[in-house]
Amino acid sequence: MKEEELDWQIYHILAGNPGMDEHSLAGLLQVSPEAIHESFLRLQKSLLIEDSPGGAQVLSIPEMILRCQAKYDTKCPFTFEGGVIRAKSGQERKDD
């Protein structure tokens, strides 16, 4: 199975069943836990899911937009740490 196909399947499964972990998905999709882990990393890097101790879940559109802004906007006044929105300290902000 191609990486993109696996990512797509995992995303849609998580959209309907939030909280599933890597081992449950590996059994359901009949792929290795390592393949699921790699897919989770790609989906997180793309700002589509969040993997937490309670399991993985799809981010809402507003969450995706906020995380994208926090990641790429150098003047953004906030950041995400462990799923929590935090104000950037004066030193972390890159104001001109």
SS3 62: helix
Statement to judge: residues 13 and 55 lie in one domain: yes
Question: Are 13 and 49 part of one and the same domain?
Answer: yes
Per-residue pLDDT reduced to its tens digit, 25-62? 999 999 999 999 999 999 999 999 998 888 899 999 99
Same-domain pairing of 71 and 50: no
Same domain, 52 and 82: no
20 and 52 belong to one structural domain: yes
13 and 28 co-located in one domain: yes
| Global confidence as pTM | 0.79
Mean pLDDT of 74-89: 84
State how many domains the chain has. 2
Task: Work out the pLDDT band at 88, boundaries 50, 70, 90.
Answer: confident
Q: What is the mean pLDDT of residues 4-31?
A: 95
- Domain with 67, as residue range(s), is 61-96
Examine the pLDDT at 9 and tell me if it is beyond 60: yes
Distance CA 34, CA 32 (A): 5
The per-residue pLDDT for 93 is 47
Q: In Å, how far from its chain's centre is CA 75?
A: 22
